[in-house]
């Protein structure tokens, strides 16, 4: 995903992408404010059923940040091996799933996923 760094404090950054503005943890070399980067999105969190909802009316991929929660709206391409493959525009994010819950109902559906933290890795492009 292509992002522009708007601000940073320690390892936390606020970034703007084509699908929204959000805050995340920067996990590679210190970024430069106002610079554009291509990043990989990741989360160490295990997604539970109460942190995902189907989206009744699709408006397009979106990322937002509110009250220390990141909201990712996208299309579930697959659910496999305790991973949810979430399409966010041109990007694909893999999210770990809680092993004791069933997520197959979300396959090929538009959903909003709530996560407490997103990690960003500069992929050097």
pLDDT digits (tens, 9 = 90+) for 63-78: 999 999 999 999 999 9
Interval 5-34: pLDDT, tens:
999 999 999 999 999 999 999 999 999 999
SS (H, E, C) the chain: CEEEEEEEECCEEEEEECCEEEEEEECCCCCCCCCEEEEEEECCCEECHHHEEECCCCCCCEEEEECCEEEEEEEEEEEECCEEEEEECCEEEEEEECCCCCCHHHCCCEEEEEECCCEEEECCC
Banded pLDDT at 48 (limits 50, 70, 90): very high
Q: What is the pLDDT of residue 117?
A: 92
Tell me the whole-structure pTM to 2 decimals: 0.89
**Per-domain residue ranges for the chain?**
2-122
């Amino acid at each position: 995903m292509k992002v522009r760094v708007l601000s940073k404090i320690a390892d936390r950054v606020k970034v703007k992408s084509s699908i929204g503005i959000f805050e995340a943890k920067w996990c590679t070399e210190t970024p430069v404010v106002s610079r554009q980067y291509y990043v990989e999105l990741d989360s160490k969190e295990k997604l539970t059923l109460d942190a995902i909802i189907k989206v009744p009316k699709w408006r397009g991929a979106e990322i937002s940040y509110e009250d220390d929660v990141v909201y990712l709206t996208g299309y579930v391409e697959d659910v496999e091996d305790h991973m949810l493959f979430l399409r966010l525009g041109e990007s694909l994010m893999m999210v770990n799933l809680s092993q004791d819950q069933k997520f197959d109902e979300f396959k090929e559906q538009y959903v909003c996923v709530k996560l407490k933290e997103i990690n960003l890795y500069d992929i050097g492009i």
